[in-house]
Structure 1
């Protein structure tokens, strides 16, 4: 989704728990549809928890700009 500057919807999620307060105050949200991603740097955090306690986390940033000091 970084290539298209969009945030994909959360898989298998269609409604919010009414007991959980609105997330807008914390500037957090759960996407229910593709949302335009506007930020100075696009980076995604991916984590995975597996059986037997193994886990992994990775930050995937967008590629650097093709513009370099030499091409200015």
Structure 2
């Protein structure tokens, strides 16, 4: 699944949005739905989501985004 990837990554990088790319050589277009690629794909997704969901949202925004969320002051 490479069609448009480079253009999309350019947009993400230009906007300071964190992303990851993992490649599986000799895989068909819909590889992520089938073995032997399904479980490694789920592992990459799980790891990526844990980076975002296991921390405070403000802390995550400061790590991964060019314009992080500011903590509200009272």
TM-score normalised by structure 2 residue count:
0.25
TM-score normalised by structure 1 residue count:
0.26
Question: Computing the radius of gyration over CA atoms, which structure comes out larger, 1 or 2?
Answer: 1
Which structure shows the bigger proportion of residues in strand conformation? 1
Which structure shows the bigger proportion of residues in helix conformation? 2
